[in-house]
Amino acid sequence: MTTQVIVLNGGSSSGKSGIARCLQAVLPDPWLTLGTDTLVDALPASLTSSDSGIAFADDGGVSVGPGFRVVEAAWIEGVAAMARAGARVVVDEVFLGGASSQERWRKALVGLGVLWVGVRCDAEVAAGREVARGDRTAGMAASQAELVHRGVSYDLEVDSTHAEAVECARVIAARVR
Amino acid sequence: MTTQVIVLNGGSSSGKSGIARCLQAVLPDPWLTLGTDTLVDALPASLTSSDSGIAFADDGGVSVGPGFRVVEAAWIEGVAAMARAGARVVVDEVFLGGASSQERWRKALVGLGVLWVGVRCDAEVAAGREVARGDRTAGMAASQAELVHRGVSYDLEVDSTHAEAVECARVIAARVR
Amino acid sequence: MTTQVIVLNGGSSSGKSGIARCLQAVLPDPWLTLGTDTLVDALPASLTSSDSGIAFADDGGVSVGPGFRVVEAAWIEGVAAMARAGARVVVDEVFLGGASSQERWRKALVGLGVLWVGVRCDAEVAAGREVARGDRTAGMAASQAELVHRGVSYDLEVDSTHAEAVECARVIAARVR
Amino acid sequence: MTTQVIVLNGGSSSGKSGIARCLQAVLPDPWLTLGTDTLVDALPASLTSSDSGIAFADDGGVSVGPGFRVVEAAWIEGVAAMARAGARVVVDEVFLGGASSQERWRKALVGLGVLWVGVRCDAEVAAGREVARGDRTAGMAASQAELVHRGVSYDLEVDSTHAEAVECARVIAARVR
């Protein structure tokens, strides 16, 4: 089946966004990149500063409430509809709920050609890159590095600990049908 | 019919994004804001630097080719699907094609409660705000100020020339059902 | 005396940065714009997350400790040195300490041609613009609107409540020698 | 002599900014980071869109005219003055003129404790990171990788091709007196 959606799942500062941009550059067809950051940017302040929404703690922890889940469900349906309408989409995601997060996406993407990709990065290395980029709360990388992969199944995994984003992208691109 | 989508259409630097954020703040329910800028950010470089994609000329002119139209159509379907799945969405748009742009959205949003809002701003004032914000090509505001409203029909229009974003948002919010 | 430095002082969301960019556009000579935001971007994380540095409270309050004061003093000396070396500089500042902040700048700028400009904006209007821009903590605009002008003396004042940034810039530019 | 200024020189996408942020995190004292990007952000539009200023070509080439040189000279004097006034400063620079660029900084920093650091990165790897970050013109990394080091002398060099930013920062920090 033709690949219509590439789901990249990995912790903060694991290199997903860089890999997504390299995928857009190396794949011959045009691919959109959408993800958790797109959704968070679209949220009202009421859902980024309350227990009902998504909350970023000072220690890097991220918690998600029922208000966020409602809009997230609609967002996922919408991204799936884009793919059904013909767009190729790289989904740049953080499965905070591990297997249950994947299940939400799997149901919405049913019938579409999906490539599930795990983006691994050693927690300590990711934490160092978090300092280097300077725009994320300290601690997010370390707290998410293992968490987001719990119970998730992949078609392939890449590890950015010792590989450049463009190398990871080439490995993934070779699996796109 | 309950309002599920608010479409804000206006030229560059007419104040749409500020009005959208104020709408998110004044409306009691959570609303997402998505728009042209979200789509452009999601594009691969191949569609932001070729005749097939969207091209930003040095004089502020913006032209759109067939490759952009293909992904835009899927994007519009996806945003409509989000609303059908229960999200309330503010669409922050620039109808470069005037009435034909509106027609694309109208078809996709059929059956949904839509509030069509024109965001006007005097061309000279918008050009001044373009200089003040400093992140847009000079000339975009002036070239789009009239163009984007040609043949477009609205439920209401606001004019940001002499009104603050939050005032425009309150006028719009009063029409949300 | 030739104007070598234009100091714009006003509260958050009073429109200083937009006025600064418009000044750069309307003045015939090249002017640099530097300010509080430049300094804050240059700080180490240790000075943006401790009592010794600059701290941004959830209610929009901003407090400044001794560690910040030390680097700020050196920063001010450096900006003054740029002007002495021939650069024309727009200083985009927030005098959190009112008259004492002005005194720090006045000492460093001694001997230079300085135009002191107060940028006023009605607190409620500034608070609305804070919501519209969406990238500042709610409450900063209101808490700073009066505070920053306490005991400060100006060569001229502009009020952005009902005037566009470019209009304010033209009024200021007319006073540049 | 106590180190008061750390000059990091390297091509675009060689990793200087990440190393600078890591230096700020690992060094015990507070250090400011200022650099080419700070100056470019401070420029009026007239100096970022003319032959007299700094021009960014579509192929990644960067050229610099006499108007830029004038403000740059004052900028360098100002940064030196900050260090003389007691600030510790990491200078994040791109020596487009190689040895002649270094000479401009050397003269201004005379009498100060300076650590000159070359930041190397394999041109092909830097070009890949340029794609991954997505906010720089394609070609800048490759065109600058060798150019900026021509005739420049260093106290130490780091190579980010196979080393993380935080590792490079630790090597540099060990040389700070």
Cα separation, B144 vs B135, whole angstroms: 16
CB-based contact (8 Å) between C134 and chain A? yes
CA geometry: angle C175, D73, D80, nearest 5 deg? 100
- Interface contact C164-B128, CB threshold 8 A: yes
CB-based contact (8 Å) between D125 and chain A? yes
What does pLDDT average to over chain B? 96
Compare all CA atoms of chain D with the CA of C88 and give the residue at the minimum distance: D71
CB-based contact (8 Å) between D124 and chain A? no
Q: What percent of chain C is modeled with pLDDT above 90?
A: 94
Cα dihedral D139, D145, D147, D153 in deg (nearest 10) = 160
pLDDT range class, residue A50, cuts 50, 70, 90: confident
Q: How many CB pairs under 8 A join A and C?
A: 4
Q: A69: distance to nearest CA of chain B, Å?
A: 11
CB-based contact (8 Å) between A45 and chain C? yes
pLDDT in tens, B99-142: 999 999 999 999 999 999 999 999 999 999 999 999 888 999 99
Q: What's the rounded mean pLDDT across residues C149-169?
A: 98
pLDDT in tens, D36-65: 999 999 999 999 988 899 999 989 999 999
Q: What letter would DSSP give residue A162?
A: S
Compare all CA atoms of chain C with the CA of A131 and give the residue at the minimum distance: C45
- Interface contact C128-B164, CB threshold 8 A: yes
What is the pTM for the complete model shown?
0.95
The answer to whether B126 and B142 are in contact (CB under 8 A) is: yes
Kindly list the residues from chain B whose CB atom is less than 8 angstroms away from the CB atom of residue A42.
32-34, 38
The two tokens of residue D156 are 């130490």
Helix or strand or coil: residue C55? strand
Strand-pair partners of B63: B55
CB-based contact (8 Å) between A66 and chain C? no
pLDDT in tens, B49-58: 888 999 999 8
Probe site for chain C from D23, D24, D32 (most C CB atoms < 10 A): D32
- ipTM reported for the complex, 2 dp: 0.96
pLDDT in tens, D109-143: 999 999 999 999 999 999 999 999 998 889 999 99
Q: In this predicted structure, what is the pLDDT of residue B51?
A: 85
Cα separation, B163 vs B157, whole angstroms: 12
- Interface contact B22-C165, CB threshold 8 A: no
Longest dimension (CA), chain D: 44
Strand-pair partners of D62: D56
Q: Is the pLDDT of residue C31 over 90?
A: yes
The two tokens of residue B117 are 């809002």
